[in-house]
Amino acid sequence: MSSSIILHIDDKADYFGLVLKTKSEGLVLGRPEGVSYGQQSSGSGGPGAKPILLREPCDLCGGDPRCVKICPTGCLSLEV
């Protein structure tokens, strides 16, 4: 509920994406079509989920991103 990152997976449509709230660039959307910035997320992470715009922006966990560490498929990485 307080995460700065939301993953969206639609198995039926074989589609996935994520939205990340950042301090400097607003919302960052990552999709198979590419990366885009500053758009309102259409997905909120499920019923009752706190909308991404109300959450704290990503602070990179002080340089040691936990989401990258725990991602079960290794699809997240930090590029600097």
Q: Which residues are at the interface with ligand SF4 (CB under 6 A)? A: 3-5, 58-61, 65-67
Q: Minimum distance between the CB of residue 69 and ligand SF4, rounded to whole angstroms?
A: 8
Rounded (5°) CA angle 45-30-58: 65
Q: Are 18 and 29 in contact (CB under 8 A)?
A: yes
**Which residue's CB is nearer to ligand SF4, number 3 or number 44?**
3
The tally of CA atoms less than 13 A away on the side-chain side of residue 70 is 4
Query: What is the spatial distance between Cα 41 and Cα 7, in angstroms, rounded to a whole number?
Result: 11
**Which residue's CB is nearer to ligand SF4, number 12 or number 63?**
63
**Which residue's CB is nearer to ligand SF4, number 14 or number 77?**
77
Query: What is the spatial distance between Cα 77 and Cα 61, in angstroms, rounded to a whole number?
Result: 13
Q: Minimum distance between the CB of residue 46 and ligand SF4, rounded to whole angstroms?
A: 17
Q: Minimum distance between the CB of residue 51 and ligand SF4, rounded to whole angstroms?
A: 16
